[in-house]
Copies of this chain bind each other. A is one copy, B any other.
Amino acid sequence: MALDPLPRGATAFLVIELQNDLVHPSLVGAKGLSGKLAEAVQSRGVLPRLAALLDRFRGAGVPVLYATKERHPSIPLPTGPKIYRAAGKDPKLMAGTWGAQVVDDVKPQEGDVVIARYTSLDPSHGSELWSILTQLGTTTLVVAGISTTIAVEGTVRAAANRGLRVVVVEDCCAVFPEEWHRFSADKVLPLIADVVPADEVAAALPRA
A residues whose Cβ falls under 8 Å from a Cβ of B: 63, 72-76, 78-83, 111-113, 117-122, 124-128, 130-132, 134-136, 139-140, 149-150, 154, 157-166, 180, 183, 187-188, 190-194
Contact = CB atoms under 8 A, between A and B. Distances in A.
Given A74-B111, A80-B163, A121 B194 contact: no
A107 B145 CA distance: 35
A191 to B, nearest CB: 5
A184 to B, nearest CB: 9
A173 to B, nearest CB: 15
A80 to B, nearest CB: 4
Nearest to A164: B80
A15 B157 CA distance: 20
Contacts of A130: 126
B125 A131 contact: yes
Given A72-B113, A75-B113, A113-B72, A157 B122 contact: yes
Contact of A157 (B74, B119, B121, B194): B121
Given A125-B158, A161-B121, A191 B112 contact: no
Contacts of A187: 180, 183
Contacts of A188: 149, 180
Contacts of A125: 131, 158, 161-162
Given A118-B128, A119-B135, A82 B163 contact: no
